[in-house]
Structure 1
């Protein structure tokens, strides 16, 4: 697996409160902690039972069609969660945005600060013209958060996939240039 730690071209994004840096092999335990937590994975598409299984996610982060950041404190000492762009499609100039936070950092305005950095990077630096967010219709908190960030509702996809034996619907939100 390629480590983002050695990728000097991966962009670092900053605010006064946040550091967004490439995900590295050193983040494995944090990724596992998040993607095995029942509250985090409730509306997230994947979960892992072991550190070893989480290596699959780490390989996915390293894929060139994904661009995900570790969301950390400015001194890089506290890992809050992760967010990024996946399914980056340069032919159609679009990508999907995704994100999650460890529960102890929910409600602190972190995503309100991090998501604009990620979407603006996609729209301005990668020159995409569309960032899509696919959100389970029942995930009211995520819908509230993304609409506050200038994503607009586009449509609902009925019976999008089967999750835990149940058919789910997904709302699509978009941000464009």
Structure 2
């Protein structure tokens, strides 16, 4: 991935654009919400801690190791969540896909719609070869979303991480660029 500005993208119902300072409140709302963080690797107990996440998004972009977009409703501009890639590995032409939504936007197809838009951009414009996604075994909603997006289940890493004082297992999903 060359050094590139995060482009604004759109789908039928959504705008996908760079996460900005005015999104701090919504980032905090999402990454402190018990339902959102249940299977997500990041959580915040204060608004101030959200700055860490905002700095992480910014540093990914500066280091060319990732890109994240705000997911917004096209008709109102309401913030729904975030989607993007991190752990971009230039030598292997691959990256890790991640996403989250505020609960009031669950079940509306927004992950599928936004992810298809992002994947199309990553595969066609940036020529990525492989996208990976790591999902806690109990997170059936994310696993199902990835399957709908055409990701293949590649295996399970048993007891590979510690979360809340216990070992958890993580499933690996991947999607290859059909042009390669």
1:135 aligns with 2:131: no
Q: Which residues in structure 2 correspond to 1:25-174 (within 5 Å)?
A: 25-63=21-59, 64=61, 65-75=65-75, 77-174=77-174
What secondary structure is seen at the aligned counterpart in 2 of 1:145? helix
Aligned residues: 170
Residue of structure 2 in register with 1:16 after alignment: 12
Superposed displacement of residue 76, structure 1: 5.5
| 1:159/1:169 contact within 8 Å kept | yes
Segment drifting more, 115-124 vs 55-64:
115-124
Q: Structure 2 length as normaliser, TM-score? A: 0.91
TM-score w.r.t. structure 1 length?
Answer: 0.92
Q: Which moved more, 1:83-92 or 1:93-102?
A: 83-92
Please list every run of at least 4 consecutive aligned residues from structure 1 whose deviation after the TM superposition is greater than 6 angstroms.
none
Gaps of 5+ in 2: none
Partners of 2:132 and 2:106 lie apart in 1 by 22
**Structure 1: distance between partners of 2:174 and 2:157:** 14
